[in-house]
A and B are shown apart, each in its own frame.
Chain A
């Protein structure tokens, strides 16, 4: 099979079978690119995970770009990204259209009244999962508490807080 088509299909599959976003996608990427297709080695994948968590944007896009490039250069990374984005794009577009049309429907309303509290729980779960490995000493706990107070009570811009925390990390842990 053409390598570009293959990359596109493999990443479409990864995109279509990952739920919840973020790190939840990593085991799937590993299964496809390390085990099934042997595109990169296991230790290179571990580095990719670390890089993805330390670079901007969605983990799936980070992973697709890197693996696509390693397998087939620039166009490989474009095709890998299209594979991740296109199926999700189409499904979400259809769902959004349907939701706009039916959101006043009584049954849709009752179903959503159950889903909304669960959604709050899902974001809280994301916070819990991000916290693994984030607290390395009392200083990181202090950073977390200060950022929370500044963001929640004083409404400071999250981007500003992220940059300041990065600078504090550089000064404290270098």
Chain B
């Protein structure tokens, strides 16, 4: 299959079967781009998430640009972005045109009561897999724990966490260099 078509179709599939926004696309992107298609490595996937979190805009668009570019340059980025936003666009257009108020439908509500707890579980999976790729050990485990507390419970903006941890990593690297 043409690589651009493959990128479009893969991201279309990912964008169609995720509810609750961009972050819930992460487990599907990991599965397809890293394990099924082998477009990027596990380490690159973690780097990509770090980059996506440190720049503004939807995380799904960031991830599509990165993976598309790695696979097939700028054309690849465009194909992947189109795929990942296509369903969101078509479905919301239909809702705006014909189905204002569909969220109050009892059947639709019931389906989503089942899906929401599943999304929580699906997001926990890449956390554990990434913890391995990011080589988290007894010393560094404090960093993700503090991050969760700051971001989820105190609403601290993710970009400050990224900047602080980048500076921390840089300082630690310089310290190691001076010792040797």
With A77-B96, A125-B152, A165-B117: A114-B169 Cβ-Cβ less than 8 Å: yes
> Chain A interface: which size bin?
35 or more
Are the C-beta atoms of A143 and B117 separated by less than 8 Å? yes
B5 at the interface (CB under 8 A from A): no
Are the C-beta atoms of A89 and B77 separated by less than 8 Å? yes
A16-56 at interface with B (beta carbon < 8 Å): 16-25, 47, 50-56
Are the C-beta atoms of B172 and A114 separated by less than 8 Å? yes
Closest-by-CB residue of A relative to B160 is A19
Interface residue total, chain B, C-beta cutoff 8 A: 109
- Kindly count the residue-residue contacts between A and B in the assembled complex, taking CB atoms under 8 Å apart: 390
A136 at the interface (CB under 8 A from B): yes
Are the C-beta atoms of A165 and B127 separated by less than 8 Å? no
Are the C-beta atoms of A130 and B65 separated by less than 8 Å? no
Point out the residue from B112, B113, B147 that lies within 8 Å of A122, measured CB to CB.
Answer: B147
Are the C-beta atoms of B57 and A169 separated by less than 8 Å? no
With A148-B121, A169-B113, A172-B113: A117-B88 Cβ-Cβ less than 8 Å: no
Point out the residue from B65, B84, B120 that lies within 8 Å of A93, measured CB to CB.
Answer: B65
Are the C-beta atoms of B114 and A121 separated by less than 8 Å? no
Interface string of B20-61 (1 = CB under 8 A from A): 111111111001000000000000001101111111111111
Are the C-beta atoms of A70 and B18 separated by less than 8 Å? no
B82-124 at interface with A (beta carbon < 8 Å): 84-85, 87-89, 91-93, 95-97, 100-103, 106-124
Are the C-beta atoms of B89 and A77 separated by less than 8 Å? yes
**Main SS of the interface on chain A?**
helix
Interface string of A129-153 (1 = CB under 8 A from B): 1110111100011011111100110
Which residues of chain B are near A81, meaning CB under 8 Å?
A: 85, 89
A128 and B58 CA atoms in complex are apart in Å by 19
Are the C-beta atoms of A18 and B102 separated by less than 8 Å? no
Which residues of chain A are near B165, meaning CB under 8 Å?
A: 114-115, 117-118
Which residues of chain B are near A145, meaning CB under 8 Å?
A: 121
Residues in chain A within 8 A of chain B (CB atoms):
15-25, 47, 50-62, 65-66, 69-70, 74, 77, 81, 84-85, 87-89, 91-93, 95-97, 99-100, 103, 106-107, 109-131, 133-136, 140-141, 143-148, 151-152, 157-159, 161-163, 165-170, 172-174
Which 9 residue pairs spanning A and B have beta carbons closest together?
A169-B114, A114-B169, A110-B173, A57-B88, A121-B147, A88-B57, A121-B144, A21-B59, A165-B118
* A and B contact pairs by CB, cutoff 8 A, 6 listed: A20-B159, A54-B112, A84-B61, A89-B61, A110-B173, A127-B123
